[in-house]
Amino acid sequence: MEKFLKDFVPGEVGSVVKISNTGKIKRRLYDMGITPGAEIKLLKVAPMGDPLCILIRGYDLSLRKDEAAEVLMEVK
């Protein structure tokens, strides 16, 4: 099943299908290791509901829902 990273619930795991954002932010996401095929686990959501904290390539990364809304995932 495919869905966007922003719709994940804490604990959910999936792999990246594609990133629909363009430009700098996309490049930044790639640089941080969010590339197609990479496995992501949503660890938690900040107290005010945004940003998110994910586990990617063995480390913790935080990103906003706006950014996560562009990351299409295949749920595992």
Which positions lie near other proteins, rule CB under 8 A?
19, 23-33, 35-38, 44-51, 53, 57-64, 66-67
The minimum distance between CB 40 and other proteins, in angstroms, equals 13
21, two tokens: 């954002």
Q: Which is nearer to other proteins, 1 or 33 (CB)?
A: 33
CA distance 4 to 46: 18
30, two tokens: 């790639």
Q: Which is nearer to other proteins, 3 or 43 (CB)?
A: 43
The minimum distance between CB 4 and other proteins, in angstroms, equals 15
Closest CA to 54 of 1, 7, 10, 19: 10
